[in-house]
Chains A and B, each alone.
Chain A
Amino acid sequence: MNATLYTRREWIALAVLAALILIVFPATMDIFRLNLVGKYLTYAFVAAGLVLCWGHGGILSLGQGIFFGLGGYCMAMFLKLEASSPENTAIQSTPGIPDFMDWNQVTELPFWWIPFKSFPFTLAAVIVVPVVFAYIIGAAMFKRRVGGVYFAIITQAIAAILTILIIGQQGYTGGVNGITDLRTLLGWDIRTDSAKFILYFVNAALLIVVLLLGQAVRVSKFGRLLIAMRDKEDRVRFSGYSVADFKIFIFCLAAAFSAIGGAMFTLQVGFMSPSFVGIVPSIEMVIFAAVGGRLSLFGAVYGALIVNWAKTSFSESFPELWLFAMGGLFIAVVMAFPNGLAGLFRSHVEPLLAKLTRKSPPPPAPDATPAEAVKLAAE
């Protein structure tokens, strides 16, 4: 692999993507639609993490909603504390604590809420809490060589547990409604149109940083090892590498990406609730990565945008058709297009572009698809 971060082809792809989300969307959409796109883009963080973790590392996590949710909840706790100043909550029986605590007869701020009064602590917690959580899960599982479907089921179970816990502990977490009515960030009102506009750009810029980071991991030696681990784990282990540590690292990285997405979600949408943590949202996040192409970081962004856009417009006009479409999408993307949109682009559009520019077609992708890998292994 060459030492440069991107081939020329990929630089163009990055430029196109950056132009799309930084120039085209803001220029053509009203603030309502732009805010919606910003919300979709927060899922792209999760999808990008899954591309690394699942597409490259072969670790399917059905619990990315955990990390998305933890990141989002950390941010929401800070915003909620700021919104529940004693002046704002003077009508409560205990002023100065979040409204849902007051409704549930909690009279004192729980000790683990107190550090979230500090903004620097919150920013650190957004990343650190989910990563530590991912480390505990990953270390317990990968050290014992639990992988594949067992890992998927257990992450799913943990997502379910966390959801039940959040809903059950209404007085401390806001319950099924989540943490709502968030107003200001350090005194800056996040509900105004101009704030939404600025947050959209912050979100987009962060996404591009995450994509660059992901690409740096992908082209490094570690990235090659990830693919080797996915395809022949034992051979990597016998070559003297610590497979478990690599897996833990990539799982934690994916968790960190998801957490950033979650925090940006809270900022842009203005609330956080358990409906973004559980089993169904977590598995939907996998489909964003799968539709975009499980091996393509840029594909993940397009996947998140297209699936969510389709979801919004379908649910607006034909709500009963959406689940059929979603189910069909799951089946189609697995059976017919295992490499998603990125794979289709590579096999159909790129040869066409190459013909137009009279260049030789690009060399085949270095990362074999799972289907091809299986075929190779079988031979």
Chain B
Amino acid sequence: MGQLIVNGLALGSIYALVALGLLMIFNTVQIVNFAQGQLLMLGAFIGISSAVTQELPIAIAWIVTMAAMALIGIVFMVLVYLPLRGRSPFLVILTTISMGIVLENLALIIWGPLPVSLPSPVHGAPLRFAGVVISMHQAFTFATLIVVLTLQFLLLTRTRFGILMQATAQDLRTARLVGIPVQRTIAVAFASGAVLSGIAGLLVAPTYLAEPTMGGSLGLKAFVVSVIGGFGSLPGAVIGGLSLGLIETFGARYISSNFRDAYAFIIMIGVLIAWPRGLFGEKTSEKV
């Protein structure tokens, strides 16, 4: 039981990280990025190329990956967001899905279809209390989530950027009129969103291996997490992510492991039927 909780929370931390990346982009430009999972996959493979193929020290590999992801985030913005400003959400959704297809197949061309592993940045004997084993990598995953969450919270609430981001989200045109560097704010949002996914990828690869097709279901789960936790809410993303990790782990153990991937969707559909705009709703409202 205790072990299941630890494993569930470790998995959930990864969902939470992807959801936090989704949130950075959503909170600034109100776009749901359906390619967020593919960004995670890219993070994992860039990490593997740096650490395994190029034999860089793992810490350097992490830094290289994060820098590369920031760049990819900006390229993503230029290709996907800029040409579609002000178009219907449906077309934006389809564009991000298409971008996911592009990234996944590029990865297949570059890295091939076989699953590969990435070493964890931490080593050492697992921690044990009361019969529960916490591997060093799991502990590192929790620690990373806490650090990321704290940094993101400070960024959004205590810095100029956070205020700029909120202003951009609320009214893009006015934000531009009052001289907010809208383009740069959005670029930072996309870059940091991609970096967060990349970190999740670096954390997934040591436990679950990396393969080019891994992004699809992880990205969808980040969305489910956002629905459970409420779109755009920082604590919501974390609570939603951890709960989903627990639900899947317990569901796989006590109900059926074949349907492990279905639990997320069943819960999401249930939540949406009861609350069509998510558990905590979105801030945006429609004018009649």
Asked if A and B bind, the verdict is no
Q: Which residues of A contact B (CB under 8 A)?
A: none
Q: Which residues of B contact A (CB under 8 A)?
A: none
